[in-house]
C-alpha cells in the first residue's frame, strides 16, 4: 500500500499525464473558447481563475467522497447534474462562437427576446464580454462538474482513502487534498492550451476568429449531442 | 525579433504537447499478451508465464459506475505473489485504477473495484492482471453504460 505522501504525488503526476492526453480532448475546446473570447487580452489571469474554480469543485467532490467513503452512491447522485452541466457547456461554447464572430450579437439574443435583467441573459453577456476576469472562477467551478473519466478515477482514489480514514473529517480532508493534487496536475496542460489559443501574435486574426467560431459551434453542438446520449 | 521569439515559443509548446499526447507504445517495453473476451458471458481465460488464469467480474452484466467484484483464479500452482488488477481503457490514460486482490481460497483472489464511465462513449476496457515478479496479461472486454 502506498503512503499518504506517495498517493498525493502519484495522483498529482496522474493529473499531469492525463492533462496532456485526456483533458486536452475534453476541456480543450472550452479552454480554447475562453481564450478566443478574450480577443487578445491577457489569458493568464482568467485561465488561472477558471482552473482555480475547476480545482475547487474537484476538491469539494473529493471531500464528499472522502467523508462518505462511498463512490458509486455519490456519483449516482450527481449524474443528472453532470449531464446538465455538459449541455450547458455545449450551449456556452456555441453562444461564445456565435458572439465571437459577431454573427449573432448577444444583445439581440438575450436583450430583445428575453428579459435583459434575467439571470441567464446577464450571465451569458458577462461571460461573453468577459469584462471581469472574476467571472472565470464560478465558470470553472461549474465546468468542474463535467463528466470525465480520469476525474472519476481520481475520485475513486479519494473514496478509497476515505474508507481507510479514522474519522469523517480526516476522510474529508484527505479527499480534498487528493483531488486538489490531481487538479493541480491538470492545470499545466490546460494553461498551455490557453496560451496556444491566444492568437494575439497572429496577423490575420479576423479570419482565424471566423474559422475558430465555426469550429466552436461544431464542438458545442457535439458536446450537447454527447450530453443527451450520456 | 519579438515575433520570432513568440514563433519559437509556439513551436516549443507544440512539440511538448505532441510528445505528451503521442502514444508511448514504442518505448521498447514488452507488452503483455492481450485476450479479448465477453466478460458478460463468463470468466475470461488466459495464461501468465504458462500458468492458466481466469478473470471473472460480478455482478453480470458488467456495468460501469457500479460496485464490482473481481475474482482471479489460477489453475495448478499458487502464484508466488498476490496478484492485482489495473483497470484502464486501451489507448487512453484514465489514471491509475488498481483493484487490490486478497486471497479468497487456495487459488482464488478477490477484490472490489469500479470501472468508470468515459463520456466519449467508448465502452471497451481492459483489466491487466499482474502477478508481481512473474508477468501479466490484459483482458479486453466491453462494459455496459
pLDDT band, very low/low/confident/very high, at B1 (cuts 50, 70, 90): very low
Q: Which helix (H) or strand (E) holds B130?
A: strand B124-131
Supply B67's cell numbers.
460496485
* Residue A159 contacts residue A66 (beta carbons within 8 Å): yes
Instruction: Give percent of chain A above pLDDT 70.
Output: 81
Q: Which of B6, B67, B95 sits opposite A154 (nearest CB)?
A: B95
| pTM of the entire predicted model | 0.78
Question: Which residues of chain A have a Cβ shorter than 8 Å from any chain B Cβ?
Answer: 1, 10-11, 14, 17-18, 20-22, 24-26, 71-72, 75-76, 86, 146-150, 152-154, 156-157, 182, 189, 192-193, 195-196, 201, 226, 229-230
pLDDT band, very low/low/confident/very high, at A33 (cuts 50, 70, 90): confident
pLDDT band, very low/low/confident/very high, at B27 (cuts 50, 70, 90): very low
Question: Which residues of chain B have a Cβ shorter than 8 Å from any chain A Cβ?
Answer: 3, 6-7, 10, 13-14, 16-17, 20-21, 65-67, 89, 92-97, 100, 114, 116-121
DSSP A2: -
Q: Strands B102-103 and B98-100: what pairing?
A: unpaired
With beta carbons under 8 A apart, name residues in chain A contacting B116: 149, 152-153, 156
Cα within 13 Å of Cα(A111), Cβ side? 7
Is residue A115 scored above 70 in pLDDT? Answer: no
Q: Which of A75, A86, A146 sits opposite B65 (nearest CB)?
A: A75
Residue pLDDT, tens place only, A167-177: 999 999 999 99
Q: Which ipTM was obtained for this model?
A: 0.73
Residue pLDDT, tens place only, B87-116: 999 988 888 899 999 999 889 999 999 999
Is residue A113 scored above 50 in pLDDT? Answer: no
The more confident residue out of B73 and B21 is B73
Supply A33's cell numbers.
473558447
Give the per-residue pLDDT at A3: 67
Is residue B13 scored above 70 in pLDDT? Answer: no
Q: C-alpha angle with apex B69: B52 to A66, nearest 5 degrees? A: 135
Q: CA of B68, closest CA in chain A: separation in Å?
A: 10
Give the per-residue pLDDT at A52: 95
Other Cβ atoms less than 10 A from the Cβ of B140: the count is: 17
Q: At what angle do helices A168-196 and A28-37 cross, to 10 degrees?
A: 60
In terms of Cβ atoms closer than 10 Å to its own Cβ (0-12, 13-18, 19+), residue B19 is exposed
Q: CA of A58, closest CA in chain B: separation in Å?
A: 15
Cell 456555441: give the residue: A94
With beta carbons under 8 A apart, name residues in chain B contacting A186: none
Give the per-residue pLDDT at B42: 92
Torsion angle defined by CA atoms of residues A24, A27, A31 and A34, in that order, rounded to the nearest 10 degrees: 160
Give the per-residue pLDDT at A40: 67
Is residue A6 scored above 50 in pLDDT? Answer: yes
Closest CA to A14 of A181, A163, A164: A181
Binary contact (B116, A149; C-beta < 8 A): yes
* Residue B70 contacts residue B44 (beta carbons within 8 Å): no
Residue B48 phi, psi (nearest 5): -120, 115
Is residue A129 scored above 70 in pLDDT? Answer: no
Q: What is the mean pLDDT of residues A145-158?
A: 90
Cell 486501451: give the residue: B90
Amino acid at each position: 500500500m502506498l503512503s499518504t505522501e506517495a498517493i498525493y504525488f502519484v495522483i498529482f503526476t496522474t493529473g499531469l499525464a492525463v492533462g496532456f492526453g485526456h483533458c486536452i480532448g475534453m476541456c480543450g475546446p472550452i479552454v480554447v473558447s475562453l481564450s478566443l473570447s478574450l480577443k487578445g487580452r491577457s489569458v493568464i489571469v482568467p485561465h488561472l481563475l477558471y482552473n482555480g474554480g475547476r480545482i475547487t469543485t474537484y476538491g469539494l467532490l473529493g471531500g464528499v467522497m472522502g467523508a462518505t467513503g462511498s463512490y458509486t452512491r455519490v456519483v449516482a447522485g450527481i449524474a443528472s447534474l453532470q449531464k446538465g452541466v455538459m449541455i450547458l457547456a455545449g450551449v456556452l461554447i456555441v453562444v461564445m462562437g456565435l458572439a465571437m464572430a459577431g454573427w449573432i450579437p448577444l444583445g439581440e439574443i438575450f436583450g430583445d427576446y428575453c428579459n435583459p435583467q434575467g439571470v441567464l441573459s446577464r450571465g451569458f453577456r458577462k461571460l461573453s464580454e468577459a469584462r471581469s476576469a472574476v467571472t472565470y472562477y464560478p465558470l470553472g467551478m461549474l465546468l468542474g462538474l463535467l463528466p470525465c473519466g480520469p476525474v472519476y478515477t481520481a475520485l475513486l482514489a479519494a473514496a478509497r482513502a476515505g474508507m481507510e480514514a479514522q474519522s469523517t473529517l480526516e476522510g474529508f480532508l484527505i479527499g480534498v487534498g487528493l483531488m486538489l493534487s490531481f487538479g493541480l496536475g491538470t492545470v499545466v496542460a490546460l494553461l498551455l492550451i490557453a496560451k496556444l489559443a491566444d492568437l494575439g501574435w497572429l496577423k490575420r486574426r479576423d479570419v482565424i476568429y471566423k474559422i475558430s467560431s465555426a469550429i466552436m459551434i461544431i464542438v458545442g453542438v457535439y458536446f450537447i449531442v454527447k450530453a443527451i446520449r450520456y | 525579433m519579438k515575433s520570432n521569439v513568440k514563433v519559437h515559443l509556439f513551436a516549443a509548446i507544440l512539440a511538448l504537447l505532441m510528445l505528451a499526447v503521442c502514444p508511448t507504445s514504442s518505448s521498447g517495453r514488452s507488452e503483455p499478451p492481450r485476450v479479448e473476451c465477453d466478460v458478460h458471458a463468463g470468466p475470461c481465460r488466459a495464461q501468465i508465464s504458462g500458468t492458466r488464469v481466469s478473470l471473472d467480474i460480478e455482478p453480470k452484466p458488467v456495468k460501469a459506475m457500479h460496485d464490482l467484484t473481481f475474482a482471479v483464479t489460477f489453475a495448478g500452482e499458487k502464484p508466488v505473489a498476490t496478484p492485482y488488477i489495473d483497470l484502464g481503457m486501451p489507448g487512453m490514460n484514465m489514471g491509475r485504477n488498481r483493484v487490490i486482490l486478497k486471497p479468497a481460497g487456495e487459488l482464488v483472489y478477490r477484490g472490489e473495484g469500479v470501472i468508470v464511465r468515459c463520456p466519449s462513449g467508448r465502452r471497451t476496457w481492459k483489466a491487466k492482471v499482474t502477478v508481481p515478479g512473474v508477468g501479466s496479461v490484459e483482458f479486453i472486454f466491453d462494459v455496459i453504460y
